[in-house]
Structure 1
């Protein structure tokens, strides 16, 4: 299993420069250990809830509720035509109180609040628990629940996760492990992103034999309150909450904003347009994609006059409008 870098920034203000330079996962022990939020969580679960409620404005949040038998694994149902959880919308205060109550239950169900805007749900909390990343213009979200297992998935943005309560076990896989992760449907997913179908807690190597190769490339991090972890764009990550109440705050940002559209849409269109072609034609298209999209030679378009390179280089507004119109027209046909 690969070793991972561990870094303690000299000053919080220098964090942005470090994040912009990293291309591999990096562990930052106790990066947010002095946050009032973390200090409250170290006192007790009740102190954590009381601290959060000090910012609560009565906003309702989306929750996932799972039977105890699912052991916190957010996944599909047994027939693969639905999911193993129910979605609910609850006042944030109610969700917190239910988490406190579930601690006393012998076989508690799982309750999970994910990807909730901190500024919308708890206005003012970020100011008391600052993260000097303004230059990156990140989106800060919170995730809180009892024991949970979130299947390996990737996100397009870069990600800094900060554990503020409980314990998290994070297992990362490099992007090139996609063929060994046995990824499920692209269009029918528990929470937006396609997920690995392998149960990391009990992998079935007969059904998923190549997953052994993914495990050889995996990086595993154990995070406690105050610890942070940088997850680069497109790295697959499985996240396990291990305590009766676990919370993290994460920051998402795009290192480079796409010129237009979402990269996933390009993948979907390519699957529809090329997936059914004969192999020799798909190989020909692969050569074109390698040249136009993934080519590394900066001079590969030098033979074309600059005024006629269009989307082959950073397009101006007129070119962008032209090609957006072309794409829109082609999708309507």
Structure 2
């Protein structure tokens, strides 16, 4: 056998601990790898959209920009009220076609979410209160933190890249 033992699917390189407070956001994006997000403390809301809808999500294509991201503020587009939200919807009208295709998941302590490669996702830290109110937490003197563990692993050689990575 050439090259020694197979590479382990998980390593320090593909693992992370996320500590955030209520209101922190990871903008709409997709990853090229599989991901397991385990919630250890507090709550997070994850909005997911299948890669088939990439054309409607205004994927960034500029030079020097992470091309796996979108400028769409998905919660504002879906749930926002008032003139600011209306302007956002006017700026990104194609998002309307995916409204019924958005999956929402609220993670609490002990929950794990699997995110397949190329699935778009937007993450909002809700704090200790799954309703998004923040809530008081014993971890940080009253302002509840969220603590999550991310384990990411690369697709196997048998898995093909999704067409969304070539989507212009």
Counterparts of 1:162 and 1:193 in 2: how far apart (Å)? 26
Partner of 2:112: 228
Partner of 1:251: 151
As a proportion of its length, which structure holds more helix?
1
Counterparts of 1:206 and 1:174 in 2: how far apart (Å)? 23
**Contact map agreement 2:34 2:115 (CA 8 A) in 1:** yes
Correspondence for 1:144 among 8, 19, 24: 19
Correspondence for 1:187 among 43, 53, 63: 63
**Deviation digits for residues 205-260 of structure 1, max 9, x if unmatched?**
211111122221111101111100111111111111111411210111123148xx
Q: Label 1:186 to 1:167 Cα distance change in 2 as closer, same or farther (>3 A).
A: farther
SS in 2 for 1:178: helix
Q: How big is the shift at 1:201?
A: 2.7
Unpaired runs of at least 5, structure 2: 1-6, 78-87, 128-143
- With the length of structure 2 as denominator, give the TM-score of the two structures: 0.67
Q: Quick check: 1:197 aligned with 2:71? A: yes
Counterparts of 1:234 and 1:148 in 2: how far apart (Å)? 22
Partner of 1:218: 102
More contact order relative to length (CA 8 Å, sep ≥ 6): 2
Counterparts of 1:174 and 1:167 in 2: how far apart (Å)? 23
SS in 2 for 1:246: strand
**Contact map agreement 2:39 2:147 (CA 8 A) in 1:** yes
Q: Greater Rg, structure 1 or structure 2?
A: 1
Aligned residues: 129
SS in 2 for 1:202: helix
**Contact map agreement 2:28 2:73 (CA 8 A) in 1:** no
Deviates further, 157-166 or 138-147: 138-147
Partner of 2:85: none
Q: Label 1:151 to 1:137 Cα distance change in 2 as closer, same or farther (>3 A).
A: same
Aligned ranges 1:64-83 → 2 under 5 Å:
none
Q: Label 1:226 to 1:193 Cα distance change in 2 as closer, same or farther (>3 A).
A: farther
As a proportion of its length, which structure holds more strand?
2
Question: RMSD value over aligned CA atoms?
Answer: 2.7
**Contact map agreement 1:186 1:194 (CA 8 A) in 2:** no
Unpaired runs of at least 5, structure 1: 1-134, 276-333
Counterparts of 1:226 and 1:215 in 2: how far apart (Å)? 29
Partner of 1:43: none
